[in-house]
Structure 1
């Protein structure tokens, strides 16, 4: 996870330089070698940062020409209204395949990292952070940067949109033991390097999440109906006329 944190730090630093006007839209970023020296990191780390910046639509890589800064997409693109149901479905589709891929290439070191997150969840040591780390370790183990970036973005949505934060908190509060059991089943499948079992375990995890989201949503809807019914009853009640 150290290398992942490092290249995201470089992404943030380059974005600060872009947003400050040092590299305005249309300008070209320094070559890879210069950026590596500027930030005192390896060239592979710079390459990962460039990929991330391109996915975030902050730059455009032109073959045999260089890396050019784009207009900030946040300034021209509307914020998408993503629901907890949409996010969970997307995560299930992508992370199910990520687990299948990771089962083939995951290392003993990464399995130990996963085990550490399970221990943290079991002992109540920052369980939400441990949950995030668990999924990101698996994304790294796919050896596919595009999948890693997609899963990272899903977590950014999960942690930044109020409605989704609220919905997930309610799900996690009511089923902490289920979450731990499901994560452990995913871990055991990865430990066996069984792609089919890893995919199925991840799908079962998200299936329970989305079913819980439906239950919470239905309970909320019933509560709203009851409130409206109570208001109507109070409005038209004849109780005050009955002696």
Structure 2
């Protein structure tokens, strides 16, 4: 979402032809809206499934079963919620970007492109790894636990997707937060970095405690994004704290 908003603002303030600006703005709007849609869709789904599980005295994690049917709101309501969130977020973020200098906006554009690149690699690769590894989740193990496999064993498509943890991957995207702050505000960047690490760690640990993943699933999920961000920031000449 942030990447899309930055692209929109950068295009509007650029000296490019109007048709180019229009096309870039449309792409930015689509990207920002998709980001909101992607996260809200799963947030609503997990919230409703958790409530339903509690009401029926089932484990709260049960709604996360791969391939299972999960409750959700109607498409129309989801779209309305997304539009409302998008409108509010756009007003706030565009007002924030308006105060940025041209130099700072160019730096934020590099951050946005890096964010998109890391997200693309994540979406293209992690889901395929999950399918190829075919690892059973802890709560899916049978009584004898003979369907347990170590993290390094590739089982092939089994319909189970415990390794690596997608939630751990996505939570570590919070490590991008320091990059949105001004390089001059080192204290804020440090605080945002601490928040990002804490958020990622809490999410990963919670997935293990819920029985949705093994510790190796959660740590590998976090490592993948940390590695991609480390490599990406070096290539884009960006630093999480000091420039």
Question: Per the shorter chain, which TM-score range?
Answer: under 0.3
Q: Scaled by the length of structure 1, what TM-score is found?
A: 0.26
Bigger-Rg structure (1/2): 1
Identify, as 1 or 2, the structure richer in helix: 1
Q: Scaled by the length of structure 2, what TM-score is found?
A: 0.26
